[in-house]
Amino acid sequence: MSDSDLPRPDLPPLREVINAHGLFASKALGQNFLFDEQLLSRIAAIPGRLKGQNVLEVGPGPGGLTRALLRAGAKVTAIEMDKRCMAPLGELAEAFPGQLTVIEGDALKIDHASLFDGEPYAILANLPYNVGTALFTGWLSGETWPPRWTSLTLMFQQEVAERIVAPSGSDAFGRLAVLSQWRAAPKIAMKVHRSAFTPPPKVMSAIIHVKPGDMPEGVSARMLERVTEAAFGQRRKMLRQSLKGLPGALDALETLGIDPARRAETLSVAEFVSIAKILSA
């Protein structure tokens, strides 16, 4: 199948779909919908060519991004917890036969291991801030690396996206940056103006794209989490204070020649990894 053979069924405009199904945006579910189909196609293009690829979409809502993914030829499994979205998503599944599976449920509770029969998949999502961050840290925290997901393409508040890509030494550098960067290279792929959403959120958004990179040898992900938790839990304090509750951490600083008078945000990602490696041994 060449790209010109990709399915292009006629679909009603997204605003019509919303009105037909009475899908007013729910604040409780963090719903801010995207209707601009050109923008949605650009987002769907971020992970690269999707023809025949497995994609997990979390929080499809009325299916704006889902359409773009299906048009790109992806095989999509979508997890959505709003019952009201089942009808419009069902219509999409009919328009793209065999390409869309919809799971009604809470993505925080669904076991990802059972998805796609053990095959690799890309993940895309435009989620409420708290759900997006919880899933993101979960996807990044596995001890098995590389993970089965091949890329993450996720909408965040711009401020959160900047914390994910923050360089060491900057104010935004913290736990999220270390956990995102130690075995991957997250990038801001696109900024999205608040006016692109209905209703518009209070703040600007940005899309993060992450591909798994090499895993440093001999480091436990759980140990790195503990080190960053302790170090940034008291980020204004010197390391000798913030790490003193973590057995072996002060000795590790000495072994590595890291001055215990430094503060967490001055350490590089590699230095955090070296501390965790000594403590993982």
| Listed ranges 29-37, 48-56, 167-175, 180-188: which one lies at the site for ligand SAM (CB under 6 A) | 29-37
Interface with ligand SAM includes 106 (CB under 6 A)? yes
Determine contact, residues 126/65, Cβ cutoff 8 Å.
Answer: yes
Q: Are strands 187-192 and 205-210 parallel, antiparallel or unpaired?
A: antiparallel
In whole angstroms, the minimum distance from the beta carbon of 57 to ligand SAM comes to: 7
Q: Which of 18, 31, 54, 162 binds ligand SAM (CB under 6 A)?
A: 31
Interface with ligand SAM includes 128 (CB under 6 A)? yes
In whole angstroms, the minimum distance from the beta carbon of 72 to ligand SAM comes to: 15
In the chain, DSSP finds a helix count (H) and a strand count (E) of 11, 9
H-state helical runs in the chain: 14-20, 37-45, 64-71, 86-95, 129-140, 158-165, 175-181, 221-233, 239-242, 249-256, 269-280
Q: Is 132 annotated as a binding residue?
A: no
**Rounded to an integer, what distance in angstroms lies between the CA atom of residue 228 and that of residue 242?**
10
Q: Which of 50, 74, 80, 269 binds ligand SAM (CB under 6 A)?
A: 80
Say which DSSP state 104 is in: E
| Listed ranges 58-66, 181-189, 208-216, 224-232: which one lies at the site for ligand SAM (CB under 6 A) | 58-66
Report the residue closest to ligand SAM, judged by CB.
59
Interface with ligand SAM includes 126 (CB under 6 A)? yes
Could you give the 3-state DSSP secondary structure of residue 152?
strand
Residues that bind ligand SAM (CB under 6 A): 29-34, 58-61, 64-65, 79-82, 85, 106-108, 126-128, 131
